[in-house]
Amino acid sequence: MVEWWLTESRPEPMIQWLGVRNLTVRLWRTTSTVLGIGAGASLFLTVVLINQSVLQSYRESLEALTGRAELVVTPDASSWMPEELLSKIEQVPGIAHATPSVQTMAKITWADGNFARNGAKASLITGDSLEFLNSTSHILLARSFAARNGLKVGDTVTASTPTGAKSLTIRGLLPEGGMAKAFGGALAVMDIDAARKTFAFDGQTSRVDLFLKAGTSPRQAQARVSTLLGASFRVEEPAERVDNFQNSFRSFQALIEFLAAVGLFVAWVLVAGTIHVSVTERQGELGILRAIGASPMQILTMILGESFWLGLLGGGLALAASFVFSHAMLGTVVAALSAQALLKIPEPQLHLPLVQAFEFLLLTATGAAIAGLFPAWRATRVSLLASIEREQPHAAAEAPWATLAAPVPSLIAQMAIQNVVRRPSRTSTTVGLLATALAFVAVIEVMTGSFEKTLSARFDHTLTPELVIFGQGKGRPDQRQTLHEGFVDELRGLPGVRGAYGRRLLPIRYEGREISLISLDDMGVETGYRVLDVVDRPREQAGIELYSSPDFTVLVSESFRNHFHKSTGDFLWLAAPMGNVRARVIGITTDFSSPNGALYTSRAWYRKIWKDPLLNGIGIMVQEGHGTTALQTTLRSRYALSRNVVVLSDREYRNEVQGIAAQAIVYVKSLRWAALFIALIALFNSFMVDIRERWQELGLLRAVGMSPLQMMAMLVFEALLKAAMAVILGLGLGLGVAWFGLTNFLTTRLGWVFHLHFSWQAPALCAALAGIVSILAVAIPAFKAVSLEVSLALAEL
């Protein structure tokens, strides 16, 4: 017999209103859940927002610099092209005119009252054909920059150049917009011939802007000019050029992206945990709903709807929070990225397009709904009886490991341990939440530690000269003011100098990617060629071959080998100003100057092929018996001002480089605080629910004579036990991810080889943080528990 109640089908009504009611009535719980989700989501959004804004700002700078040219020609193989090529380009059909320029970085200082003040840390001086500026000492400055620094037309500034300090007079101001937007206005413009003279670019050009005749398409012109110039030059549209430029901080990007991905996952786990906790708390209520006729589908959609709303609210909160966080962190990030990229990046405006904000909200809400899926599904499946009638599963009391607690002398500790083992599902939620956050901390700690350790180890076994000389500027050697090789000869003649050696880093292209070409003067076999850091054969042997082979030889970095699959014994072709040259690979070395790879060669060969007299740094070996400090003082007093250089001891140099690395890492490190904050809220939720669930039990304990202090001790001890479990789990997980990140992700993305470095610091930090976070999280719930009215708690029995 078929019954009406089975066959009469009505559409199943949704009971979303009940879910919404749950959110509005339990405001306190909703707030803490939204806070947890918001914190998790903002961790992710902050990273995205910062990356995006900084990249945008960088891009705008580059675009402003590229100007209105339709095509840009740059030499592929070196920083310069011979001047005579210009007239050839101008004869190409379709080209209206071609404007050459040279670009370099120089520090500018000026007198401000009685004080010499540092102005632009790294200003860009671009030479252009500006007839009215035909004096070698005239420049234009961006109006905004001049205004900011109290400079006006007619003032004199001092610029550091490869041959020493030069006085320059401001003859005019660039109007707002256009080129003056580049680098936040920190740039100066001067006549090209003046620039060539001042900055030792004898007859060279670093860039040609092409303007086309009406009716000529950029593609056509590009093809024609490319054919004319051959493979050693790049002819690009401005947009392509910007893309290529951005590769220069791919390394940093890759690290951040990796951490953002891990962060996204961590955030999601924490969000999922928070929702899981809030659903578990209502298990009994859901059981009642099922008993009075709610279908699994109704329960499922109700919880998914609730999670969706929680996610939406949390996403909204995250949106606001990440603007605050990003704003606070922006300065650090810009500094770190400016040190990574070749140019100063102006501090960007935080900007999130509306569509993206909407997408983010949707993502958070959907993410939360997905996170609610599992607990919702469990809620529909849970035995109705277990959830309605029984406080705890029957089996729990007989858990075999419950006896584990027996040998512990203190009753309080014993009870705490019992609670931890007897309620495996609650324990695992709490431990899982904390462990995830700790794993994130461990990943950051181990990865940045490995970075720093690898860097300092490299210094330990390669740093040879006792003193180093650089041009003014901050950051990597290739971002500083270049020096002229004549300076090396001068230094060699000084008393106390045993040897002076030049080093040049030239960014060149190989198979379409930017790599570093590093050339070094021969430091002599008696140094054991430590500086070369050859990893696949004896260094001495490799050094001798590099400096005394009759053919052109190079060392390739590990990253180069990983990207281009060239190693010892292979040959490679490099595009040089005079045509292609063949290089023989004689060894593998370690280098971190470019993520794509680096080549090392002797400066004698480099000089011959690239005809470049400039240097990025000079190393000095001190004569025996002559004090290093004494020589440093002498060199400083002699050249610091006249040549505008810094003279550093090996220790100072090392500290400076490590300082730059540390700066880049600050941003990454600050992410872990965000992760811990989310964990704190998530744990707080979890402890709160835990204590709610044990309300009667706790009331009973108080009723039979447990003092508030004893109860507090028991709850805190429980929290610490869970924290200890989380530390072990989190460390294991974190080490695994860090190991994967270092050996797989970074090596394949960047080619750099880092060695996993694990010190006691990571576990110590994790343990300390876990302790602090769990005590903070348990404080309020425990306080609530000890201050509960015993009669009230028992009344619920």
Partner 1 sequence: MLLKVESLSKTYETSSGKPVSVLSDINLSIDGAEFVTIMGPSGSGKSTLLQLIGSLDRPTGGRILVNGADLSSLDEMGRTLFRRRKLGFVFQAFHLIPLLTAEENVALPLVLDGTSRGKALERARALLGGVVGLGQRGKHRPGQLSGGEKQRVAIARALIANPDLILADEPTGALDSATSGEILALLKSLRSEQGRTILMVTHDETAARYGTRIIRLRDGRMVADGKPA
- 1 lies in the binding site for partner 1 (CB under 8 A): yes
Burial zone of 512 (CB within 10 Å; 0-12 exposed, 13-18 middle, 19+ buried): exposed
Site for partner 1 in 34-63 (CB under 8 A): none
Q: Does 285 bind partner 1 (CB under 8 A)?
A: yes
Q: For partner 1, which residue of 289, 576, 622, 731 counts as binding (CB under 8 A)? A: 289
Q: By the 8 A CB rule, do 302 and 14 touch?
A: yes
- Could you give the CA distance from residue 168 to residue 375 in angstroms, rounded to a whole number? 71
Task: Find the binder of partner 1 among 295, 414, 428, 567 (CB under 8 A).
Answer: 295
Quick one: 383 or 580, whose CB is closer to partner 1? 383
Specify whether the CB–CB gap between 307 and 371 falls below 8 A: yes
354 near partner 1, rule: CB under 8 A: no
Q: Are 342 and 62 in contact (CB under 8 A)?
A: no
Cβ–Cβ < 8 Å for 191, 87: no
Question: Closest approach of Cβ 431 to partner 1, in Å?
Answer: 22
Quick one: CA torsion of 86, 91, 97, 103, rounded to 10 degrees? -10
Provide the mask over 364-383, with x wherever binding to partner 1 is found by CB under 8 A and - wherever it is not: -------------------x
Using CB under 8 A as the binding rule, whether residue 291 contacts partner 1 is answered as yes
6 binds partner 1 (CB under 8 A): yes
Report the residue number, 640 or 700, with the smaller CB distance to partner 1. Answer: 700
Q: Give the nearest distance from C-beta 282 to partner 1 in angstroms.
A: 10
Two tokens at 576? 């040089």
User: Does residue 296 bind partner 1 (CB under 8 A)?
Assistant: yes
* Binding of residue 394 to partner 1 (CB under 8 A): yes
Smaller CB distance to partner 1: residue 7 or 91? 7
* Residue 428: both structure tokens together: 């695992």
Judged by CB under 8 A, does residue 409 bind partner 1?
no
What is the crossing angle of helices 296-340 and 354-381, to 10°? Answer: 140
Spacing of C-alpha 188 from chain mean position: 30
CB of 686 to partner 1, least distance (A): 21
Sites for partner 1 among residues 513-532 (CB under 8 A): none
3-state SS string over 592-613? Answer: CCCCCCEEEEEHHHHHHHHCCC
Determine, following the binding rule CB under 8 A, whether residue 389 of this chain makes contact with partner 1.
yes
Q: How far is the CB of 6 from partner 1 (least distance, A)?
A: 6
Segment interacting with partner 1, rule: CB under 8 A, options 221-229, 291-299, 363-371, 711-719: 291-299
Other Cβ atoms less than 10 A from the Cβ of 710: the count is: 17
Report in angstroms the alpha-carbon separations of 214 from 70, 72, 91. Answer: 11, 17, 16
For residue 44, give Cα distances in angstroms to 10, 257, 633.
44, 10, 49
Return the residues of window 146-185 that contact partner 1 according to CB under 8 A: none
CB closer to partner 1, 389 vs 511: 389
Least distance between partner 1 and beta carbon 693 (Å) = 15
Smallest gap from Cβ 399 to partner 1, in A, equals 8
Give the residue, chosen from 223, 231, 239, 288, that forms a contact with partner 1 under the rule CB under 8 A: 288
Q: In what order do the strands lie in the sheet with 497-510?
A: 571-576, 579-589, 553-557, 598-602, 513-520, 497-510, 617-622, 467-471, 645-649
Least separation in angstroms between CB 290 and partner 1:
8
Among 234, 276, 290, 509, binds partner 1 (CB under 8 A): 290
Contact partners, residue 553, CB within 8 Å, separation at least 6: 545, 546, 583, 584, 585, 586, 601, 602, 605
The 3-state secondary structure of 240-309, one letter per residue: HHHHHHHHHHHHHHHHHHHHHHHHHHHHHHHHHHHHHHHHHHCHHHHHHHHHCCCCHHHHHHHHHHHHHH
Please identify, among the stretches 21-29, 97-105, 254-262, 473-481, the one whose residues bind partner 1 according to the rule CB under 8 A.
21-29
Q: Nearest-CA neighbor of 193 among 329, 83, 87, 284? A: 83
Stretch that binds partner 1, among 65-73, 170-178, 285-293, 403-411 (CB under 8 A): 285-293
Min separation Cβ 316 and partner 1, Å: 24
Pairing of strands 497-510, 617-622: antiparallel
Distances (CA, A) of 137 to 111, 112, 193, 195, 197: 17, 20, 11, 9, 10
CA gap 477, 483 in Å, rounded = 11
Closest distance of CB 302 from partner 1, Å: 11
**10 Å Cβ neighbour count for 445?**
25
| Minimum gap (Å) between residue 425 Cβ and partner 1 | 14
Report if residue 425 touches partner 1, rule: CB under 8 A.
no
Contact between 698 and 415 (Cβ < 8 Å): no
Q: What is the smallest separation between the CB atom of 33 and partner 1, expressed in angstroms?
A: 16
The number of residues that bind partner 1 (CB under 8 A) is 36
Query: Taking CB under 8 A as the rule, does residue 692 contact partner 1?
Result: no
Among 228, 388, 463, 700, which residue sits at the site for partner 1 (rule: CB under 8 A)?
388
Q: Tokens for 708? A: 């508030």
How far from the centroid of its chain's Cα atoms is residue 456's Cα? Answer: 19
| Token digits of residue 136 | 């070698």
385 binds partner 1 (CB under 8 A): yes
Query: Minimum distance from CB of 305 to partner 1 (Å)?
Result: 15
Nearer to partner 1, 17 or 358 (CB): 17
Selected binder of partner 1 within 21, 97, 213, 461 (CB under 8 A):
21
DSSP string, 598-659: EEEEEHHHHHHHH---EESEEEEEEPTTS-HHHHHHHHHHHHTTTT-EEEEEHHHHHHHHHH
Q: Tell whether residue 293 is a contact of partner 1 (CB under 8 A).
A: yes
Q: Is 2 in the site for partner 1 (CB under 8 A)?
A: yes
The answer to whether 292 contacts partner 1 (rule: CB under 8 A) is yes
Minimum distance between the CB of residue 784 and partner 1, rounded to whole angstroms? 18
CB of 395 to partner 1, least distance (A): 4
70 scored as a contact of partner 1 (CB under 8 A) = no
Helix/strand/coil (H, E, C) string of 294-311? CCHHHHHHHHHHHHHHHH
CA nearest to 51, candidates 260, 264, 344: 260
Contact window for partner 1 (CB under 8 A) among 17-25, 167-175, 241-249, 512-520: 17-25
Asked if 15 interacts with partner 1 (CB under 8 A), we say yes
DSSP annotation of 162 reads T
Out of 10, 131, 512, 760, which residue is the one contacting partner 1 (CB under 8 A)? Answer: 10
Considering only residues 11, 407, 493, 550, which one is a binding residue for partner 1 as defined by CB under 8 A?
11
**22 touches partner 1 by CB under 8 A:** yes
- Only one of the segments 151-159, 390-398, 465-473, 644-652 lies at the binding site for partner 1 (rule: CB under 8 A); that segment is 390-398
13 is an interface residue for partner 1 by CB under 8 A = yes
Residue type, 658: Q
Q: Which two tokens stand for residue 453?
A: 């350790």
- Nearer to partner 1 by Cβ, of 29 and 603: the residue is 29
Give me the residues that bind partner 1 (CB under 8 A), please.
Answer: 1-3, 5-6, 10-13, 15, 17-18, 21-22, 25-26, 285, 288-296, 298, 383-385, 388-389, 394-395, 398-399
